[in-house]
Amino acid sequence: MNHPTDPHKMIQASTPAGTNPGYMPGFGNDFETEALPGALPQGMNSPQRCNYGLYGEQLSGTAFTANPPERTWCYRIRPSVKHSHRYDKINLPYWKSAPCVDPDVTSLGQYRWDPVAHTQDGLTWLTGMRTMTTAGDVNTQVGMASHIYLVTESMVDDYFFSADSELLVVPQEGRLRFATELGIIDLEPKEIAILPRGLVYRVEVLEGPARGFVCENYGQKFELPGRGPIGANCMANPRDFKAPIAAYEDREVPSTVTVKWCGQFHTTKIGQSPLDVVAWHGNYAPYKYDLRTYCPVGAILFDHPDPSIFTVLTAPSGQPGTANIDFVLFRERWMVAEDTFRPPWYHKNIMSELMGNIYGQYDAKPQGFVPGGMSLHNMMLPHGPDQDAFDNASNSNLGPDKLDNTMSFMIETRFPQHLTSFAATEAPLQDDYIDCWTSLEKKFDGTPGKK
Ligand SMILES: [Fe+2]
């Protein structure tokens, strides 16, 4: 005789279930997390008195009336007004914001850089930021900047937030810890992190020296691209994005908060750590993503799709289909297209394309585009495979072929990118990059059938 299942016999998973310790899975979820039991109010946001004597405070990442609004409720030891005092302007000469058009610098062209080398200088997240390009206008909240970071020293009793931008961090070397108001994110190469506008954090070196790329997004937040006919699976899956669980410190030491605001930097002195959020809930939070979980989709019979097929995250510009920024990943994948020129085709593009190499070899440029290096193909400037890549792609036998040991990315923006003086004169610019197409010969002689 069958009895109904006894609910008391159900076996429950441990908490948290099925996810990485320290993180909660999902993209843009309405998360909730508390570092002390009962610190998070239930069923309401603003109780008359919060548990543990905490202060309730909302961090708004969108207008209140945006649909959907993005905001997070924090329950913290002190309200943020206690982490902000009078401001003194400081100079971080290598961190530039748009508009930054240097009359002595030519941005028209195709550019490629070797990795920016480390120096003997001790550099933090703030002093080690080296802006390469800027686009748009930070004051009108459109466009972006690209940076290389060189970090050898941890921030100590020193904190930062950018009111200007959301930061997309792409490590290439070393490991960093982002100790934020909303929890801890540890980051290493093959992962990326997003640090939202307004979030306070310090950056510690777990393994140095650390080098990588930053895309500073002045505009609307990054979101997952619409998959269209691809459907609900593949590309970047929402479950692989990880937001940190709540973490706080109750440390009363003289501290400094540096603020980036309308392209300028100011500091304020406070008497304690601002990382004092004991519990939070909401959908405005930092997160990380493991690029190895990106499932590429491509052509399985012939031809080469547009690179937008590899978009990981997109930041809209207000003009549908035309991104302020697309973050696009070129990773290991199989090439199977028949009778096809398989590398990226030659083209000109209204969008401006900045690329970085995380590791390995990129298929359109077997030489010269090395891990840690960057390239820029600016608005409407032609580019494509070099001579070696063209010859190989035109003459090789086309069986199934795995592109292995390769991970590069592209930051594509609708706005032209302007080189900084650092990118044009101090960074290791390859003067001979334009010559990679010089040896391409005319093959046409009017003979039909010739290939
Ligand atoms: Fe391109």
Instruction: Please give the distance, rounded to the nearest whole angstrom, from the Cα atom of residue 404 to the centre of ligand 1.
Output: 21
pLDDT top residue among 389 and 163: 163
Residues in Cβ contact with 395 at an 8 Å cutoff, skipping those fewer than 6 apart: none
Mean pLDDT of the chain: 95
* Domain contains 415: yes
Say yes or no: 87 and 214 in one domain: yes
pLDDT confidence tier of residue 451, bands split at 50, 70 and 90: confident
Residue 18 scores a pLDDT above 70: no
Let me know if residue 21 belongs to a domain: no
- Assign 188 to helix, strand or coil: coil
Residue 362 among known ligand-binding residues: yes
Marked catalytic residue, from 83, 85, 304, 377: 304
Q: How far apart (Å, rounded) are the C-alpha atoms in residues 354 and 147?
A: 11
Active site residue 3: no
Task: Verify that 256 and 330 share a domain, yes or no.
Answer: no
E-assigned strands of 114-254? Answer: 129-137, 142-151, 158-162, 166-180, 183-187, 191-195, 201-217, 241-244
Co-location of 124 and 194 in the same domain: yes
What is the domain range of residue 374?
293-429
325 Cα: distance to centroid of ligand 1 (angstroms): 14
Say if CB 147 and CB 130 are below 8 A apart. Answer: yes
- The whole-number pLDDT of residue 367 equals 79
Residue position matching structure tokens 């002190």 = 78
**pLDDT for the residue numbered 3:** 55
What percentage of the chain carries pLDDT values higher than 90?
Answer: 92
Helix (H) or strand (E) holding 389: helix 387-395
Distance 437 CA to ligand 1 centre (A): 14
Residue 169 within a domain: yes
Distance 377 CA to ligand 1 centre (A): 7
pLDDT at 393 exceeding the cut of 60: yes
CA dist., res. 325 & res. 170, Å (int): 15
Q: Is residue 179 part of a domain?
A: yes
Q: Which helix (H) or strand (E) holds 387?
A: helix 387-395
Q: How far apart are CA 42 and CA 281, in angstroms?
A: 10
Do residues 210 and 237 share a domain? yes
Indicate whether 122 and 257 sit together in one domain: yes
Residues 235 and 120 occupy one common structural domain: yes
Residue 40: what residue type?
A: L
Residue 329's φ and ψ, nearest 5 degrees, are -115, 130
Distance 383 CA to ligand 1 centre (A): 6
* 365 pLDDT above the threshold of 90: no
Is the domain of 254 the same as that of 377? no
Per-residue pLDDT band at 7 (split at 50, 70, 90): low
- Tell me: do 247 and 364 sit in the same domain: no
Res 378 pLDDT > 70: yes
Tell me what pLDDT residue 174 has: 98
Q: How confident is the model at residue 362 (pLDDT cuts 50, 70, 90)?
A: confident
Please check the confidence at residue 14 and state whether its pLDDT lies above 70: no
Is 381 domain-assigned? Answer: yes
State whether 299 and 267 are in the same domain: no
Q: How far is the CA of 342 from the centre of ligand 1 (A)?
A: 14
Q: Any binding-site annotation on 347?
A: yes
16 pLDDT exceeds 80?
Answer: no
- What is the full DSSP assignment across 133-165? EEEEEGGGTEEEEEEEEEE-S--SSEEEEESS-
Whether the per-residue pLDDT at 2 is higher than 60: the answer is no
Q: State the total domains in the chain.
A: 2
Which of these, 269, 268, 266, lies nearest to 91 by C-alpha position?
Answer: 266
Does the residue 45 lie in any domain? no
- 147 and 261 part of one domain: yes
Residues within 5 Å of ion ligand 1 by Cβ?
Answer: 353
Give the model confidence (pLDDT) of 97-141 as tens digits.
Answer: 999 999 999 999 999 999 999 999 999 999 999 999 999 999 999
**Average of pLDDT values for 342-358?**
95
Task: Tell me the per-residue pLDDT of 261-309, one tens digit each, with 9 for 90 and over.
Answer: 999 999 999 999 999 999 999 999 999 999 999 999 999 999 999 999 9
413 CA distance to ligand 1 middle (Å): 12
Answer whether residue 50 is part of any domain: no
Q: What pLDDT, on the 0 to 100 scale, is given for residue 213?
A: 98
Q: Which CATH number belongs to the domain containing residue 352 in this structure? A: 2.60.120.10
Residue 297 CA, ligand 1 centroid: distance in Å:
18
**Ligand 1: centre distance to CA 331 (Å):** 16
